[in-house]
Amino acid sequence: MDRLAGIEEFVAVVDAGSFSAAADKLHLSRSAVGKTIARLEERLGVRLCQRTTRSFKLTDDGHSFYEHCQTLLATLDSAETVIASGKNVVSGRLRLSLPVLFGRRCVAPVLFELARQYPSLRLEVSFTDRPVDLVAEGYDLVVRNAGLPDTTNLAAKRIARQRMTVCASPAYLMSHGTPETIEDIAAHQAILYGQNGNIRSWLFPNDRKGFDTASTASRIILDDLEAVADAAVGGMGLAWLPCWLIRDQLETGKLKRLLPDVGQMVFDTHAVWPRQPYMPTRIRVAIDALATTLPGMTGVDLEIK
């Protein structure tokens, strides 16, 4: 049994004054923090705090336990300071798994800047689009687009949001016309993205809090988004792509953004790491750097024509 499990989260909640504020500080979801505190209370056999959806209040047992936990964490901090004495605080190996294209174009530059800033930090980066098992494969941190794994052994933080858009070259539009609605897409050639027989559907949010799927006809299916963008520039048809990928082509006029009056799909990008009582400084610094920098590169408010 890990006797330290939940202590850092409990102290963070008390210090921050709320579960939400503590979750932000720890890079966890509010639900994850709440479940961790509940497991700690179950293990101790006492109620540490009375909580509602808006507030919490320490019990007498909670006050006593909090004071002891503060002393314990202070002792651990002192021990870590002794170990780190004379060393760069951000040091050691950081092993990451990143999506191939997004990782190379957006995430890697942030990591390289970290490496320049912290000479004692050693990066080991794997680029793959397959799902990885963080624990079994020994990764400290992975970046994932869209869906998250369903496990209590992992923690996650949203670090960016990506907006999709339908686009085409001026030459294609001159020859085939410009679609005005989602239904119009069916009358055009589409350049589709797919891997292992799975074709990505073109999704558009609707006012029913769901998504409409465009009907797409295609002679070209590619498993590389850059190749999809190149084919669109070459006039082969419509493409559905993340704005960050085609920003330069849109700004130079090689591609034109379509359906401006139709809601665009936005999906989340998360940093995911193995849940642990104490997050190493190198992981925390990397997550903070990604969460600070990536929104300006991929966010929904990019100034794109």
pLDDT tens sequence across 16-30: 777 887 887 777 888
Phi, psi of 62 (to 5 degrees): -65, -40
Distance of alpha carbon 17 from alpha carbon 289, whole angstroms: 25
Tokens of 250: 């849109």
Cα separation values, 177 from 20, 101, 189, 221, Å: 50, 31, 11, 22
What CA–CA distance (Å, rounded) separates 148 from 154? 10
Q: In the prediction, which pLDDT does 51 show?
A: 73
First to last CA, the chain: 56
What pLDDT, on a 0 to 100 scale, did the predictor assign at position 99? 92
How much is the pLDDT for 54? 60
Domains and CATH numbers, the chain: 7-84 (1.10.10.10), 92-160+267-298 (3.40.190.10), 162-266 (3.40.190.10)
Give the per-residue pLDDT at 85.
Answer: 47
pLDDT, tens digit, for every residue of 67-106? 888 777 777 765 665 565 445 478 888 999 999 999 999 9
pLDDT beneath 70, residues of the chain: 1-2, 52-55, 77-88, 147-152, 299-305
pLDDT of residue 36: 86
Half-sphere exposure for 241 (CA within 13 Å, toward CB):
33
Q: What is the mean pLDDT of the chain?
A: 85
Q: Which of 162, 207, 203, 205 is nearest to 185 (CA)?
A: 203
Q: Hey, what are 96's tokens?
A: 């990451």
pTM recorded for the entire structure: 0.65
